[in-house]
Chain A
Amino acid sequence: MSPAAKPGPDESARLGLRLTLPAQVLVLFISVFPLLMQLYISLTDWSPLSGLAWPRAWEMWNTFANYTDLLSDNRLWSALGRTLLVMAICVPVEFLLGLGLAILFADNFPGKRLLYSILIMPMMVVPAVAGYMFYMLFQSGGPVNDLLSAISGMPVTVAWLSDPTLALAAVMVADIWQWTPLMFLILLAGLVGVPQDQVKAATLLGANAWQRFVTIVLPRMRAIIIIALAIRVIECFKIFDTLFIMTGGGPGVATETISVYIYKITTQDLIWGYVAAIALAILIVLSVACVWAMKRMAK
């Protein structure tokens, strides 16, 4: 083949268009229709139980009643509060434990690779299976109580999953077990990226280990810390699989987070018009938060 001139910009643009087409179609498919449809039925009382096909939902029009209802829906707001509580406890604990482990793993030592592979396993366990693991562990006749009995010397038969507070604690333990390795993984990568020369220079100037950590290491890890926290906060807000298998949202509503609540009213009460309103409300709030966060990051 004789050497020809390089392909022109037109050919590149056309190829680029064709390459991105499948992804664009899929994204459109999953965003446009769902959004419009949710918008539509959120303004109605529609439910699949109504006997109407959804395009005829306008017959059950209620304008913004769903939206005002959700503002006074106590169950919704407690679910939200519970979710925020779980986030407020789990994310910092995971962060601190992950950071501690990362610091311990910063140097080389025998067995490092093997131990590292083991420590990152929890985050790769199927979350539903992890839920089941902890369900078994926290049975009143199960290993956790067995361990506690052995340590304290007294027989411990706490009914973890039947007690409202303890069930929430158990759920948090499961979350921390599963996701601390994620923090560990990301923070270790960030820690290793801190320029060693600067750390040495600081040492030569007389800074001790704590001073070096606070004035050099942490500031240089700032971007990574923000990323790790953002990822974990977003995922923790969505928490469902593990929790649902462990407690089903119970006892009662003691461990009902926002995802569990929405699941229940979707599949049990089937008030889909209302659910659509909640979904859109969440969408709006999160989008605003996203834009605000991006503006702050750009500065």
Chain B
Amino acid sequence: MTRPLAFAAFRYIVILLATAITLIPILWMASMAFKPIPEWQATGANLTWFPRNPTLDNFRFIFGTSTSDLIVALDRTALKPILSSLLSASVGTLIAMVAGTSAAYGLSRFGSGANLPLALIQLRLFPPMAVMIPVMMMWAFLNFMDTWWGLALIYGIVTLPFAFWLMKTFFDDMPREIEEAALVEGCSRARVFWRITLPMMRAPLASAALFVFILNWSDYLIALLLTTRDWVTIPVYMASLSSSMTGQLYGAKAALGLIAAVPPVVLGVLIQRHLVRGLTFGALKQ
């Protein structure tokens, strides 16, 4: 249906306004990340929207290679937090995907684990804070505190519901004829799963894995509680960066924030087709 010109103009104006509002916070942080010290300290009338003298100093600072005259010794550079985020998010994703995909297949094809859908939704229902004390104590008992593998395990558990629901809807959507044909040929069901189903599911698996990875990478609270020094993740490290001499180190934090935020945004745009499915636990497909 064709619409009048006035509506089209109105639409563009509103959408462009929304786009501007969307981008301003992100662009501001990006801008701060590239500003030298006097610029990111500026307030009020001295404020500039774009860096006048863009510099990589903030990035150098957080990686400990700064040549500026900032007399602050960092306890640790950003390298380990980045490593920690990467390891815990990746391995956590692996755990969630392995457990979730297997269980999803089991439920979809054999009807096993009928209690899982409800149990896993309930897992997401309660505020994490409400269950963290026992987790902290279990982790302390297992010597998992302040380790990236301890984080990976809890991440795997906490994002298991998403992996499960996503893969279950994907399996449900997949026609069974090919599997049936292989079964008639004499393949065992396990072989069918490994050799036939999974290879066909490469794209959905990738999308689900990326979705889960984004969730794990974005965690703050759990890392805050379960790590203290050695294996803090990027968000925790970022929050802790401060200096008694130069206040809040906006520039460095902005640089770190940029590093933390870019991967999920890029990945998210890549898998945007499946976002609705993942976020609504498969209730809706795009």
Closest to B20 in A: A118
Nearest CB on A from B81, distance (A): 12
**CB-based contact A15/B106 at 8 Å:** yes
Q: B25 contacts A177, CB within 8 Å?
A: yes
Given known contacts A115-B19, A234-B125, is B261 in contact with A129 (CB within 8 Å)? yes
* Number of chain B residues whose Cβ lies closer than 8 Å to a Cβ of chain A: 98
Known: A109-B11, A136-B28. A234 touches B157 (CB 8 A): no
User: Are B110's CB and A12's CB within 8 A?
Assistant: yes
- Cα A37 to Cα B110 in complex, Å, equals 34
Task: Return the CB mask of B124-164 against A: 1 if under 8 Å, else 0.
Answer: 11111111111101100000000000000000110010001
Let me know if A129 and B260 touch, CB within 8 A. yes
Q: Write out the residue numbers on chain A whose beta carbons fall within 8 Å of the beta carbon of B22.
A: 118-119, 121-122, 177, 181
Which residues of B sit under 8 angstroms from A33, Cβ to Cβ?
134, 138
Please tell me if the beta carbons of B157 and A37 are within 8 angstroms of each other in the complex. no
**In whole angstroms, how far apart are the Cα atoms of A258 and B265 in the complex?**
29
A88 CB-CB contact with B under 8 Å: no
Does chain B have a CB within 8 A of A38? yes
Cα A80 to Cα B3 with chains together (Å): 47
User: Closest CB-CB distance, B228 to chain A, in whole Å?
Assistant: 11
The SS class assigned to the A binding surface is: helix
Q: Does B87 belong to the interface (CB within 8 Å)?
A: no
Q: Is there contact, CB below 8 Å, between A120 and B218?
A: no
- 8 Å CB contact of A143 from B47, B98, B156: B47
Distance from A86 Cβ to chain B, minimum over Cβ atoms (Å): 14
CA distance A34 to B217 in the complex (A): 24
The stretch among B69-77, B198-206, B250-258 that forms the contact with chain A is B250-258
Q: Could you mark each residue 260-286 of chain B with 1 if its beta carbon is under 8 Å from any beta carbon of chain A, else 0?
A: 110011011100100110011001111
Partner of A185, one of B11, B95, B279, B283: B279
A20 at the interface (CB under 8 A from B): yes
State which of A7, A30, A127 has its C-beta within 8 Å of the C-beta of B183.
Answer: A7
Most chain B CB inside 10 Å of its own CB: which residue of A20, A223, A231: A20
The closest CB in chain B to the CB of A224 belongs to B284
Report chain A residues within 8 Å CB of B79.
none
Q: How far is the CB of B105 from the nearest CB of chain A, in Å? A: 6
Q: For the complex, what is the distance from the CA of A224 to the CA of B107, rounded to whole Å?
A: 25
In the complex the two chains form, is A189's CB within 8 Å of B286's CB? Answer: yes
- Chain A contacts for B245, CB-based, 8 A: none
Which residue of the partner chain, among B156, B253, B280, contacts A231 with CB atoms under 8 Å? B280
The residues of A that contact B185 with a CB separation of less than 8 Å are 1, 3
> A104-120, CB under 8 A of B: which get 1 and which 0?
11010100000111111
CB < 8 Å neighbour of B112 from A19, A109, A124, A223:
A19
B82 to chain A, nearest CB (A): 13
Within 8 A of B (CB), among A92-150: 100-101, 104-105, 107, 109, 115-130, 132-134, 136-137, 139-143, 145-146
How close is B66's CB to chain A, nearest CB, in angstroms? 20
Q: Would you give the 0/1 interface string for B224-243, flagging 1 where the beta carbon is closer than 8 Å to chain A?
A: 01000000001100110000
Could you show 27 A-B contacts with beta carbons less than 8 Å apart? A15-B193, A16-B109, A17-B106, A19-B193, A23-B116, A30-B123, A101-B15, A118-B19, A120-B268, A121-B22, A124-B214, A124-B265, A124-B269, A128-B220, A128-B235, A136-B250, A137-B24, A142-B43, A142-B47, A185-B275, A238-B127, A238-B129, A258-B127, A272-B133, A279-B131, A282-B126, A283-B130
Closest 10 pairs between A and B when the two form their complex, measured CB to CB: A141-B43, A16-B110, A16-B112, A20-B113, A19-B106, A124-B268, A34-B134, A23-B103, A128-B235, A279-B130
